[in-house]
Amino acid sequence: MTNRAVFLLSLAAFASAASLRATDTLLPQLAAEFSVTTGGAASVVTAFAMSYGLLQAVYGPLGDRYGRYLMVCAATLASALGTVACAMAPTLDTLIVARFAAGATVGALIPLSMAWIGDVVAYDQRQALIARFLLGQILGTAFGQSLAGVLAERFGWRAIFFVLAALYLIVGTLLLLELRRNPITRHPAGDATATIRSGLVRMAGLLALPWVRFVVGTVFIEAMIMYGALAFIPTHLQQRFSLGPAVAGAMVAAYAAGGVLYALGAKRFVARLGESGLAAGGGLVLAVGYLWLEFAPVAWASVPGILLIGAGFYMLHNTLQVNATQMAPAARGAAMSLFALCLFSGQSAGVWLAGKVVDAYGTAPVFVTASLGLALIGCGFRWRLNLERDQRVIK
């Protein structure tokens, strides 16, 4: 029963990731239609990520009060409305507002799902199960980027949002049916005392813990560097190699393929490398991937670099996620909300900053910075994780 419940959460993560990454491929088309720069069009990415992060202060307490699985179900159904609003937006400003609204509901899906998994799954089994759960997110990334490109060429950029809205309705209905028939989805019992104010206080209180500060600070910087570069990979392919959005979107699907390779082998990787080895190895694989992408001489040669970026990111980020589920077990909902807040605040800042750099200098500075920065982050987290474990042993 747990596997089925997690599978449906993975479908919600699929829809969430597809929504998040769909506009990456569309940036050149949005820039052309609304007569703005590529960096200006990237505001649709920033708006989604910003609301996604800010609303974590709301969803943590709501999940504590009404149940995390229930909130994922409700937010999935609500996400269909914001997604339709994106499809109907007549201007860029309206689209930015609609993307902000969509991000506000989609923001509940992955963090609350992971907090629910943390509640019902033992820690020694959690990393492998979270990796399988993340298959939905990984495949959703490929689906959003590649299908957005295909649909944009045939029907225009609005088509992908109608498809995503239908997907939210289907997944939300399946989650609702699971809530009715599977008792484990109602674990744990709701906390009637949980409020948004108490959630904010709890999240702020967690920052008093040095390990929590390090984990959420690391994910903020990781997201700023990683997603700032990732958002402009389709633009890089389209502008440098004169590709259409469909081909560029299909090539970026190699990112998801790299993530799938990691997820399928996660259990073996954890056993062989350990958490600290995964973090450092992921950072180094990311470094190679971004440099490869930047210096690829022809379009097809970019694909291995994109695949390495996908594998390296999930090696590093999955390690951060697992540590986030355990950094404050007594306040797991607040901890995951704080983690997601920092993740998507970093992402929105990174895309905004990268957009300014791309408009002025192209993608090269963004990719080279990502290569160096992510290698340092992976190695730094390995060092700090080993130090934290040594201190726990001494205590």
Domain boundaries, the chain: 2-394
Tokens of 236: 């890089």
Give helix 302-326 / helix 364-394 axis angle, nearest 10°.
30
CA distance 110 to 91: 29
User: Residue 1: its pLDDT value, please?
Assistant: 65
CA distance 129 to 124: 10
Ranges of residues in the chain whose predicted pLDDT is under 70: 1, 127, 187-194, 333, 390-395
CA distance 260 to 254: 10
User: Residue 169: its pLDDT value, please?
Assistant: 96
User: Residue 190: its pLDDT value, please?
Assistant: 57
Helix (H) or strand (E) holding 252: helix 245-264
Tell me which of 2.70.98.40, 1.20.1250.20, 3.30.950.10, 3.20.180.10 is the CATH number of domain 2-394: 1.20.1250.20
User: Residue 270: its pLDDT value, please?
Assistant: 78
Residues 321, 123: contact at Cβ < 8 Å? no
Block residue for tokens 């307490």: 61
User: Residue 231: its pLDDT value, please?
Assistant: 92
